[in-house]
A = this chain, B = another copy of it.
Amino acid sequence: MLKFAILGFLNYRPLSGYDLEQQLRVSTAHFWYAGLSQIYMTLKKLEADGLVVSEVQEQEKRPDKRIYTITADGKAEFGEWLAQPVNKVEPTKSTLLLKLFFARPVGRDAVLHQLRMMLQAYRGKLTEYTGGLPAEASEMLASQPELQDDSIMWGIVQDFGIRYAEMAIAWLEDAIHTIETHFSEDV
């Protein structure tokens, strides 16, 4: 639900749709991202439902911005969502795992090639994640010490991304090794 991601960010401060996309990109991209078009649509719906209000802010030498602010209703609905626990392991869909499951007919070399590409991709992700908090977040933290508890949560979430990437890398390395030594076909 992108709706709640947006309300969450607007709960800190008012932002435009364009700003929100950047927020998502720098802070939640690895577990929740949305393109601009979806953001604009969602904001429109949120405003229609009275959960946010907007006003146009004129800018010189830049296009006008429409700044959205969360309303009391919006805060209430966001709080309700937040408090409601996630009670089950969320079902995931992985095209990669699905393909791998059926991959035998494509043959040893093609599978190995695929896995090596994925390995590279995850190594890239890992160095990206271990870069630490982006400057923006650090600034925000320094200027608002009341965000300390928030930053604990941000760290935990970021840690998940790092561990996930590390897990995926180790798994891919071992998978490549297993296939190299056990997969019989080499047509």
Contact = CB atoms under 8 A, between A and B. Distances in A.
Given A152-B179, A175-B159, A184-B148, A82 B99 contact: yes
A41 interface: no
Given A8-B101, A100-B153, A102-B8, A31 B93 contact: yes
Decide if the interface of chain A is mainly helix, strand, loop or mixed. helix
Work out how many copies of this chain go into the complex.
2
Interface string A93-133: 11111111111111000110110011001100100000000
Interface of A: 1, 4-5, 8, 11, 27-28, 30-33, 78-79, 81-83, 85-106, 110-111, 113-114, 117-118, 121-122, 125, 148-150, 152-157, 159-160, 163-164, 166-167, 170-171, 174-175, 178-179, 182-185
